[in-house]
């Protein structure tokens, strides 16, 4: 079976006045069709950088410093400019972080969707594109009357649905969703998530779902990659994520940080300390300054990824601390 997305030892750095920011540090992952994989991590852990790298839409000061990124078996970085233009949106698409505020303010919803069709299929008639635009709005449950609306005339939730409609317009095999519901209130968030699930079931594309909301991802995704300081420190199926107690110490901290509703008070236990400086990563395990189990080995030697109990874990002491 060919994976829809295959990351092999991918690293991405940003050139900055302070030095190279190691935003993504040697990550590997495979995603197959008809599956949702979650990507979780604190702010600044490298999630969006990885998403942008897959789309070959990195910022000017960013470089893919190592590894290969394959989508549907094609190395994204070996495509010519022209091939890439065709490949994007038709094979891989992304709902960018804060995308609902990036819709073109001077174009109607219809014009923005029609543009996507016409720019990818020169032979499609405007009439046919308009018909497809209407169908798409129906898929994301927006009244086609809004085809003539401008973005500012829509609610945040509706704008986000339009963005999702644009991402899936050309039936891509891979859809990257970068915090697609974060800016929305809980009720709207829920309805958009249900919509995403529903469309995914029909279209069977693969989704890389980026979020920092642990409970949301574990509900939506079948597999979850947990990112810390640019690395996947744990990759596990989401069922055992919530059910099992045995995890990487960072994952354990994230689970503890999920708000617990006890009687009428909410308690949150955050992870002490701050994410590391990505220009000068800590020696050994990057998590050691915050890890309550850290020993001398952790401070000196970076742990390798190991496959233990159905998950990939990057921790020297996984077996020991879980006893
Ligand atoms: P968030 O949850 O806040 O969206 P993220 O996990 O998506 O965070 P990224 O946006 O990928 O994180 O950033 C990863 C690291 O790269 C951060 O330390 C960030 O400061 C740094 N970074 C991002 N963009 C640039 C840039 N253009 N130049 C230099 N450093 C950058
Ligand atoms: Fe903690 Fe050591 Fe495991 Fe890193 S390798 S997470 S410091 S126990
Ligand atoms: Mg981000």
- pLDDT tens digit sequence for 293-311: 999 999 999 999 999 888 8
Does some domain include residue 33? yes
pLDDT of residue 210: 97
125 within some domain: no
Measured between alpha carbons, how far is 113 from 107 in angstroms, rounded to an integer? 10
- Please state the rounded mean pLDDT for residues 56-81: 97
Q: Is the CB of 176 under 6 A from ligand 1?
A: no
254 in any annotated domain: no
Query: Does 296 map to a domain?
Result: no
Owning domain of residue 87:
5-106+150-242
Ligand 1 and 59: CB distance under 6 A: yes
Identify the H or E element spanning 267: strand 265-267
With beta carbons less than 8 A apart as the criterion, state whether 24 and 45 touch: no
CA distance 285 to 287: 5
Q: What is the DSSP string of 32-91?
A: -TT-EEEEE--TTSSHHHHHHHHTT---TTEEEEEEEEEETTEEGGGS-HHHHHHHHHHT
pLDDT at residue 236 tops 60:
yes
Supply the pLDDT for residue 53.
98
The owner of tokens 């635009």 is 133
> Ligand 3 mean position to 88 CA, how many Å?
20
Identify which of 249, 305, 312, 323 to mutate to test ligand 2's pocket (most ligand atoms within 8 A of the CB).
Answer: 249
Residue 190 lies in a domain: yes
Q: Whose CA is nearest to atom 3 of ligand 2?
A: 315
**16 Cβ below 6 A of ligand 1:** yes
For residue 41 and ligand 1, the question of a CB distance below 6 A is answered with yes
Tell me if the pTM is above 0.90: yes
Sheet holding 74-75, edge to edge: 19-31, 5-16, 62-71, 74-75
212-226 mean pLDDT: 90
56 assigned to some structural domain: yes
Asked if the model's pLDDT at residue 70 lies above 60, the reply is yes
pLDDT at 213: 85
CB 294 near ligand 2, within 6 Å: yes
* Dist CA 223 CA 242 (whole Å): 12
| Residues 14-48: tens digit of each pLDDT | 999 999 999 999 999 999 999 999 999 999 999 99
Q: How far apart are CA 64 and CA 121, in angstroms?
A: 30
Choose among 202, 195, 188, 250: nearest CA to 224: 250
Residue 44 CA to ligand 3 centre (angstroms): 7
Q: Which of 254, 271, 215, 257 is nearest to 238 (CA)?
A: 215
Task: Tell me which residue has its CA closest to atom 25 in ligand 1.
Answer: 14
Question: pLDDT (tens digit, 9 = 90+) per residue, 87-143?
Answer: 999 999 999 988 888 899 999 999 999 999 999 988 999 999 999 999 999 999 999
pLDDT digits (tens, 9 = 90+) for 148-206: 999 999 999 999 999 999 999 999 999 999 999 888 888 888 999 999 999 999 999 99
Contact 29, 225 (CB under 8 A): yes
Q: How many domains does the chain have?
A: 1
Residue 82 has pLDDT above 90, yes or no: yes
Task: Tell me the pLDDT tens digit for each residue of 245-297.
Answer: 778 999 988 888 777 655 566 666 678 888 999 999 999 999 999 999 999 99
CA 289 and chain centroid, separation: 26
pLDDT for the residue numbered 272: 84
In a domain, 54, yes or no: yes
pLDDT at 79: 97
Give the atom of ligand 1 at the shortest distance from the alpha carbon of 59: 27
Would you state the pLDDT for residue 260?
63
Q: What is the CATH number of the domain that holds 180?
A: 3.40.50.300
DSSP code, position 156 = H
Q: Give Dmax (Cα) for the chain.
A: 68
| Ligand 2 lined by 196 (C-beta under 6 Å) | no
d(CA 11, CA 89) in angstroms, rounded, equals 23
């Amino acid at each position: 079976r060919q994976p829809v997305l295959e990351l092999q030892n991918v690293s991405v750095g940003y050139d900055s006045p302070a030095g190279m920011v190691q935003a993504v540090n040697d990550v590997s992952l495979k995603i197959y069709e008809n599956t949702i994989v979650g990507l979780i991590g604190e702010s600044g852990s490298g999630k969006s950088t990885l998403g942008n790298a897959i789309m070959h839409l990195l910022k000017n000061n960013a470089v893919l410093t190592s590894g290969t990124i394959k989508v549907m078996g094609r190395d994204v970085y070996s495509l010519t400019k022209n091939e890439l233009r065709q490949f994007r949106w038709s094979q891989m698409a992304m709902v960018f972080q804060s995308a609902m505020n990036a819709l073109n303010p001077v174009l109607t919803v219809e014009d923005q969707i029609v543009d996507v069709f016409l720019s990818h299929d020169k032979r499609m008639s405007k009439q046919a594109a308009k018909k497809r635009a209407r169908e798409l709005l129906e898929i994301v449950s927006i009244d086609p009357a809004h085809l003539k609306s401008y973005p500012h005339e829509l609610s945040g939730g509706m704008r986000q649905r339009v963005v999702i409609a644009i991402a899936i317009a050309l039936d891509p095999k891979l859809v990257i969703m970068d915090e697609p519901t974060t800016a929305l209130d809980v009720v709207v968030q829920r309805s958009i998530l249900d919509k995403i699930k529903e469309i995914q079931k029909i279209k069977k594309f693969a989704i890389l779902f980026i979020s920092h909301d642990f409970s949301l991802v574990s509900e939506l995704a079948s597999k979850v990659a947990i990112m810390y300081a640019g690395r996947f420190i744990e990759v596990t199926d989401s069922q055992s994520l919530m059910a099992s107690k045995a995890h990487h110490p960072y994952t354990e901290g994230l689970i503890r940080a999920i708000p617990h509703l006890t009687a009428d008070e909410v308690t949150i236990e955050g992870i002490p300390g701050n994410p590391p400086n990505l220009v000068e990563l800590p020696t050994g395990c990057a998590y050691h300054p915050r890890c309550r189990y850290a020993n001398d080995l952790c401070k000196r030697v970076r742990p390798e990824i190991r496959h233990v109990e159905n998950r990939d874990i990057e921790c020297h002491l996984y077996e020991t601390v879980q006893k």
